[in-house]
Structure 1
Amino acid sequence: MIKRMNAYRSRLDTALASLAGGDSIKAEALFRAILAEAPDCAEAWHGLACVARHTGQPRLAIASVAHALTLTQDNVERARFHLTLAASLDEAGHLREAVSACRVATLMEPRDFRAHALMSELLYRSEQNEAAASAFSMALSLAADPVPLLTRHGAFLMEQRRFAAAMACFRRLVALCPQEAAAHANLGAACFENGAMEEALAALRKAVALAPPSAQTLNNLGLVYQALGYSIPAEEAFDAALALFPDDCVLACNRATLLAETDREKEAETFFRDMIADGGAWSAQARFNLGMIQLGRGEFAQGWSNFESRQSLIESTVLPPWDGERTEGRVLIEGEQGLGDCLQFLRFVPDAALRAPLLLRLPEVLDPLLAFMPELQPLLRSGRVVLSGEATKRCSLLSLPARLGVTTVDASPYLDFGLSPEKGRIGIFNAGNPTYRFDARRSLPRAYFAPILAVQGVTFVNLQQEQDAALLEPGVEQGIGHTLVDTARALARCEMVIGVDTMMAHLTGAMGRPLWLLDREGGDWRWKGPDWYTGLRIFRPEGGLPPDEAWPPVIERVAQALRERSGGYDGV
C-alpha cells in the first residue's frame, strides 16, 4: 500500500499545487484520475475534500474526508484529516462537532501548530475565551515562523470584534516586525476599533512613515484624527485616500461626514444627495447622514424620514414594525443607541401610548427614572405602559418622532424629583463613557475645568461618574450616588450644570435645569437646531484647531460667564 501511494505522490503534489494556485477544476480532475486507478487512496479523497472546501461545498468536504479517514490508520495522516474535518464541520455550521474533531487532531498530533490555531478560533467562537487564548499560545510556541500565524489570528479576532485581543496580537506582531508597515497599520485599526485612539494614531502614523500607505490605512488615519478632534489632518487623510481610490463610496462618505461635522453642511448635503440618487449599497447610510443634517436645521418632516434609514443598517427583531397606527395590540418600544439618546426620546412615550398599549424596554439603569416622569406614571399604573411582557409589534424609541409625525419639539422638562434648586450650586461633569469609539472628541480632561473651578462664590458638585471622592478638587462636593436616582437627586439641587455631551447632559435638560454645554466643534445634530431643553447655552471651539489649543479659550469664556452670572471672582 505504501509503495503504491508513493507512486502517486508526485501527482498528488501537483494537484495540491494547482489547488493552492486557485485552479480547483484542474486539482479535482487530478484527484479523480488518481482515484480511478486507486479508489482506496486516502490522500486523494482528502484532496477532494480540500477542493470541496475551496469551492464552498462543506457538506461534500465532510463526506470526502470522512471516507478518507476510513482508508488510513496512520496517525499523522488521521490528525491532518481530522483538521480538515473540523474546518469543514465549522463551515457547515456544526461548531460543537468541529471542536470535537479539532480536539482529536490535537491529541493525535500535538505538535501541529495549525490544529491548535484552529482550535483557538473555534473556542473563541464558542465563547470559551480562556481556553481559546491558551490554545493560541500553544500554537504560537509550536510555529517555526510566528508572523503569519499572528497576522491571521489578528485578522480573525478583528472579524469576531474581539478588538482588545486583536490589539494584543498585533502588538506582538509589531514587536517582531517593527519595520513592517502592515503590522503597524493592523495595530492601528485594532486600536481604533477598541477606542484606544492615541495608540491608534501613533501606530497609523508609523505605518505611513514606513511605506506608501494603502487607502484603508489612510481612511483609518482620517477616522482616528476625526475621533480625536483633529479635523484638518483628518480631511487631509481622507483626501489622500480618495486620491488613490476616487470612486470609493466608503472613503467619500467618511469625508462628507467630516464636512457635515465641521460646519460645511452644504457641501456634505450635496454629496449625500448625489449618493442617494445613485443608489447602491451606501445610499441608506447617505440618507441617514442627510437626515441628521436636516434634523440639525429643524427640518423635522424630511429629517425624521431620512433618519429612519438607520434601521436598514442595524439588526431588528422578528416582530413586525409598528408604523404609528392606532391598535390594541401591545407595541414593544426599545431603547436604541446610548443612554443619552434614550433619555432624549423618552418624552415621546406618553404620546405613543395614546395610540397603542406599550411594552417599554430601556437599558435597566434608566428604569428607576421612570418613577419620576409625571406624564408616564398614570400610564404605568393603568397598565397602558408595562416594563415586561410580550408584544405583537415593535418600534425603536428613536423612531417615535417619525411614527408620531413630530414637527416641533416641546422643550419642557419631563422628569421631576420634587427638589428645588439651591442658589449657587453648580454641577460639573467632563467626560462620557470611554468605551464609546468617539468619546475623545466629546470628553475633556478634568484639568481643563481648572479656570471654571477657580470661580468664587459658588459651590461645585461633581456629577462625573467614576470620579473618586478622594480625588475631587478642594471644595467640590461629591454628587455621584450609589444609583442613578441618587445622582439625579443631587443634580436636582443644582442651580445650573456645566458639562459635555453625555447622558448627564440629557438628564440635566430632562429635569429642567439650565445646562451650559461644552460641545465639540461642529456639534451633534441634537444641539444644533431647535432647543430640546430649556435653559440651554452652548459653548463650542472654532477654527479647526487641535483640542489642546481649541478648548482653553472656550473654557475661559465659560469661566468669565459664570463669574458674571454669580458675581464671583477667581482672586487673580
Structure 2
Amino acid sequence: MDDTSPVQAVIDAFTSGDPVTAIARGFAIEASYPDDPAVLNHLGAIHLQYSQPAHALRVLRRAFDLAPTSSVICVNLGLALEIDQQFGAAADAFGLAAAYKPDFVVAHFNRGRMCVRTERFQDATDAFAEVIVREPTNADAWNYWAGSMSLLNRLDEALSGYERALTINPGHLSTLRDHAIVAMRAGQPVRALPSLDRALAIDPSWANGQQHRGRAHTQSGRFADAETDFAVALTLDPGNRDALNGRAWLRHISGDRMGCLRDLEALVAEDPTNAEARAFLGLAYLREERFAEGWSAYESRWDVPANAGIFDGATRFRWDGSQDLTGRSILVMSEQGFGDTIQFCRYVPMLVNRGARVILAVQPPLQGLIAGMPWAHHLVTDNAPVPDTDFFCPMLSLPQAFGTEPGTIPSPGRYLETSPEKRASWRHRLAIPDHSPLPSQTEPRAGGWGSLPLPTGNTNPLVGISWRGNPGNRGDAQRSIPLTTFVEALPAGLRYVSLQKDTTEDERAHLAAWGILDVAEALDDFASTGALCDVLDLIITVDTSIAHLAGALARPVWILLCRIPDWRWFVDRTDSPWYPTARLYRQATAGDWAPVIATVRRDIASFATRS
C-alpha cells in the first residue's frame, strides 16, 4: 500500500518510537475497517513486524474469518500463531495457504517447520519436498528435509539431503555439523570426517565437534588423531562427558588400560549418576582382577535406560548374598549371551547348597543342555512369565553376592553334562571308538589341556573348530577370524569338524573343498553341540559361546583372543581360572592374526604327535 493507506499512521508511530500511539491508532483502524480483510491483514503484518504478537493475532484472526481462502492471510496468521507457540494451529494455517496456492513456497516451508515442532516428521518431509520440487537449489529446504529424515531415523536419506544442501552452500556451518553428527549416528565415520574437518576449520572452538571427530578417528583406526581430538575437546570444555567417555573407549580398544581407567573414574566422579560409565568402569576393574570394585560398579548396568523395566515382573526381594536361603525359593535370571549363561550357571549349585529351591530362567537353546543337571530341578525359559519366588537375582550378579575374588572363582572342572545317547550318536556318525573317559564333575582337573586324557581308539585326532561368533554382537568383527585365515592353523593329518551352526554358502563350499566335516544341520541346540564337543579330542575356537561350552564340559579348548578381549579373559594370561582346561592365544597387534595362527599350528602339530 502507498502512504495514503489507513495503516500508514500506525507505521509512522512505530518508526518514531511511539508504540503506545501506534497501538491506539491500530484500534481505531480496526473500528473503521471492521470488514476489510486487506486492511486488517496489513495491520496484523505491521504488528508482527514491530513485535506486537497479541495484537497481530487478534487482528489476523478477524481477517481470516472474513477471507479464509486468502493464502497471504493464512501465512500471516500462521506466523502469529507460531509466536504464540500454537504450533499445531500454525501448521494448519500454513497448510491452508499451501492448499489454496500450491506454488506458495513460503507456506510449504513454514508448514514443514511447524510439523517438526509438533513431531509430525513425515508431514514435515512432505512439506519440504514441495519446496524442493519448486526450488531445487533451496539449501535451507534441503537442510530441513534432511533434518526431518534424521528424526524419522532414515539416516541414509538424511545424509543425502545434507550433502545436496552442501553442494549449494558448502560453507554452511550448521549443515556441516548436522551432516557429521548424523553420519556418526549412521556408523559412517569416513563420511563424517570431511564435514567435521570443514566445520572445525570454521569454528575450532566447537568442543562437541572435536569429540565427535575423536570418535570418528577412533572408529577409523586413527588412534593418535583421536587422542589429539579428545585432548582438544577437553581443553575447550574440561567437563565434556562425551569426550571423556569417547577417550575412555579409545584407550580401551587401543590397549591403554590405565588411561581408560583414569578416564572412567574421572567420568564417574564428574557424573555419579552416569550408569553406563559406571558399568563400563566395573568391567575395566574386572579385567584388572579388581573384583570387589568391579562387581559393585558393574551392578550399575541395571540403571542404564536400555535396561529399564527388565525386572518389572520380579516383585520379590533381590538376593544380595546376605539373606538366608534355607527352604526359600530364588529366581535366577539369565542375561546377555549364551556364553554368559554357561559361564555363570556354575553358581547355581552353590545356591542349592545353601538350601535354596532354585528356579533358573535360561535362553531356550540352552534348556536341553542344562535340564539334565541335578541342580536344575526347576527350569523355565527366559521369556516365560516370571514365577513367584521369595528372592530373585540376575545371573551375573551372583559373583558379587558370593563375594567372588580372583582366588575364589568357583572352578569345578566339568560342571555341565551331556546325554550319553547323543554322545553315542556322534561317535557312530564320526566312527569314534567309545574308549575315552570323560572328566568327572566331582574331580575337577587343573593344569590345562595337556593333562587331559586323549582318545586311544583313533590314530587321527578329531578337532572341532569355530571361527566366528554372532555378527550382531558388538566387537564380533574383532573377535572373529575369516575361515580362509583360520584354516591356515590346521595342519594335515588330523580330522576336523566345524562347530558352526550358521555356516554361509561360501563357507560350506570352502569346508567341503578342505575336507572339513560340516554338521551344521545336526547342531539343533547346545545339548547337541555339547555332546559333539564331548567326543572330540580338541576344540579350537574364537571367543564365542563354543569356548564357554567346551570349558564347562572340561574339554581341551584353545581360545583365540583378539588384542582387547572380553574382561573375563583378564590380561596377558595364557590360562583361565574360569576354565582349567582352556589355553588362551592372544593377539599382540589388533587385527593381526598371523602370529596367533602360526603358534596354534605349531601347537597342533605337537598335540598330534602326543596323541
Fold shared by both chains (TM-score > 0.5):
yes
Q: TM-score, normalised by structure 1?
A: 0.69
The residue number in structure 2 matching 1:562 is: 604
Residue in structure 1 matching 2:287, options 285, 296, 321: 296
In the alignment, which of 178, 202, 208 is matched to residue 197 of structure 2? 208
Letter in 2 for 1:78: C
**Corresponding position of 2:182:** 190
Establish whether residue 449 from structure 1 lines up as the match of residue 449 from structure 2: no
Structure 1 counterpart of 2:186, which letter?
N
Match of 1:485 among 524, 547, 550: 524
Q: Which residue of 1 aligns with 2:71?
A: 75
Which of 348, 361, 366 is residue 369 of structure 1 equivalent to?
366
1:304 deviates by: 1.2
Could you tell me whether the CA contact under 8 Å between 1:261 and 1:524 is conserved in 2? no
Q: Of 576, 579, 585, which aligns to 1:539? A: 585
Cα pair 2:184 2:192 within 8 Å, conserved: no
SS at match of 1:485: coil
User: Which residue is 1:23 aligned to?
Assistant: none
1:324 aligns with 2:319: yes
Contact 1:45 1:65 in 2 (8 A): no
**CA distance, structure 2, for counterparts of residue 195 and residue 264 of structure 1:** 24
Of 253, 256, 259 in structure 2, the residue corresponding to residue 264 of structure 1 is 256
What is the match of residue 447 of structure 2? none
> What is the distance in 2 between the residues matched to 1:371 and 1:77?
72
- Cα distance per residue 1:111-148 (max 9 Å; x no partner): 4442674588599x67x97x886666445324454433
Aligned with 1:493: secondary structure?
A: helix
Q: How does 1:458-469 map to 2 (within 5 A)?
A: 458-461=495-498, 463=500, 465=502, 467-468=504-505
Structure 1 window deviating more from structure 2 (294-303 vs 524-533): it is 524-533
Displacement of 1:560 after TM fit?
2.7
Cα distance in structure 1, aligned partners of 2:532 and 2:364? 21
Structure 2 residue matching 1:538: 3-state secondary structure: strand
Check conservation: 2:196, 2:213, Cα contact below 8 A. no
Could you list the per-position Cα deviations for residues 480-507 of structure 1 after superposition, in whole angstroms to 9, with x for gaps in the alignment? 449x734763464243444444455555
Residue matched to 1:22: none
Q: Counterparts of 1:497 and 1:33 in 2: how far apart (Å)?
A: 91
In structure 2, what is the Cα distance between the partners aligned to 1:425 and 1:70?
85
Q: Distance in 2 between matches of 1:104 and 1:331?
A: 63
Mapping 1:240-259, distance limit 5 Å: 240-259=232-251
Q: Match for residue 466 of structure 2?
A: 428
- Structure-2 separation of matches of 1:468 and 1:178: 45
Q: Is the 8 A contact 2:368 2:527 kept in 1?
A: no
Alignment partners' CA distance in 2, 1:120 and 1:554: 57
CA contact (8 A) 1:195 1:435 kept: no
**For the Cα contact (< 8 Å) 1:429–1:464, is it kept in 2?**
no
Counterparts of 2:21 and 2:545 in 1: how far apart (Å)? 64
Contact 2:142–2:162 (Cα < 8 Å) also in 1: yes
CA contact (8 A) 2:57 2:77 kept: no
Q: Which one-letter code corresponds to 1:300 in the other structure?
A: F
For the residues of structure 2 that align with 1:99 and 1:264, how far apart are their CA atoms? 53
Q: Structure 1 234/100 Cα, relative in aligned 2: closer, same or farther at 3 Å?
A: same
Superposed, which structure 2 residues align to 1:508-527 within 5 Å?
A: 509=551, 513-527=555-569
1:289 is matched by which residue type in structure 2? F
2:369 counterpart letter in structure 1 = F
- Cα distance change on mapping 1:287 and 1:435 into 2, 3 Å: closer
**Alpha carbons of 1:556 and 1:426: their partners in 2 closer, same or farther (altered >3 Å)?**
same
**SS at the partner of 1:433?**
coil
Aligned-partner Cα distance in 2 for 1:14–1:72? 32
Aligned: 1:553 with 2:595: yes
User: Following superposition of structure 1 onto structure 2, how do residues 339-358 of structure 1 map, counting pairs within 5 Å?
Assistant: 340-341=339-340, 344-345=343-344
Tell me which of 148, 164, 167 is aligned to 2:140: 148
CA distance in 1, matches of 2:159, 2:394: 34
**Distance in 1, Cα, partners of 2:490 & 2:135:** 57
- Cα offsets for 1:86-109 (capped at 9, x unmatched): 999997xx9xx9998886675455
User: Are 1:312 and 2:297 matched, yes or no?
Assistant: no
Q: Which residue of 1 aligns with 2:437?
A: none
TM-score of the two chains, using structure 2 as the length reference: 0.65
Does the CA contact (< 8 Å) of 1:442 and 1:519 recur in 2?
yes
Aligned sequence identity (%)? 22
C-alpha change, 1:9 and 1:62, in structure 2 (3 Å) is closer
Unaligned regions of 5+ residues in structure 1, if any? 16-26, 54-60
Higher mean C-alpha deviation, range 165-174 or range 557-566? 165-174
Question: How far off is 1:255 after superposition?
Answer: 1.9
One-letter code aligned to 2:524: V
Letter in 2 for 1:426: G
- Alpha-carbon RMSD: 5.5
**CA distance, structure 1, for counterparts of residue 385 and residue 601 of structure 2:** 46
Q: What is the distance in 1 between the residues matched to 2:276 and 2:464?
A: 40
SS of equivalent to 1:521: coil
Cα distance, 1:207–1:492 mapped onto 2, change above 3 Å:
farther
Q: Partners of 2:388 and 2:83 in 1: how far apart?
A: 40
CA contact under 8 A between 2:561 and 2:584: conserved in structure 1?
A: yes
Q: Structure 2: where are the runs of 5+ without partners?
A: 35-39, 431-460
Deviation at 1:160, TM superposition (A): 5.9
- Counterparts in 2 of 1:11 and 1:528: CA distance versus 1, 3 Å: farther
In the alignment, the residues of structure 2 paired with residue 446 and residue 500 of structure 1 have an alpha-carbon distance, to the nearest angstrom, of 11
Matched, 1:220 2:212: yes
Task: Name the structure 2 match of 1:235.
Answer: 227
Q: Within the alignment, does 1:410 sit opposite 2:410 as a pair?
A: yes
SS of the equivalent of 1:223 reads: helix
For the structure 1 residues 176 and 461, does the alpha-carbon distance in structure 2 shift closer, same or farther, using more than 3 Å as the test?
farther
Note if contact 1:455-1:562 (Cα within 8 Å) is conserved in structure 2: no
Alpha-carbon distance between aligned partners in 2 of 1:75 and 1:313, rounded to the nearest angstrom: 50
Alpha carbons 1:221, 1:237 under 8 Å: kept: yes
User: Larger Rg: 1 or 2?
Assistant: 2
The answer for the alignment partner of 1:380 in structure 2 is 379
Q: Deviations over 1:298-356 (max 9, x none)?
A: 33222111112233332522837943166999988766555655555555567679768
Relative to structure 1, is the Cα distance of residues 489 and 282 closer, same or farther in structure 2, using a 3 angstrom cutoff? Answer: same
Letter in 1 for 2:518: Q
Q: Relative to structure 1, is the Cα distance of residues 119 and 265 closer, same or farther in structure 2, using a 3 angstrom cutoff? A: same
**Paired residues of 2:295 and 2:399 also in contact (CA < 8 A):** yes
- Counterparts in 2 of 1:567 and 1:88: CA distance versus 1, 3 Å: farther
Q: Match of 1:380, SS?
A: strand
CA distance in 2, matches of 1:62, 1:337: 57
**Structure 1 residues 490 and 304: CA distance shift in structure 2, 3 A:** closer
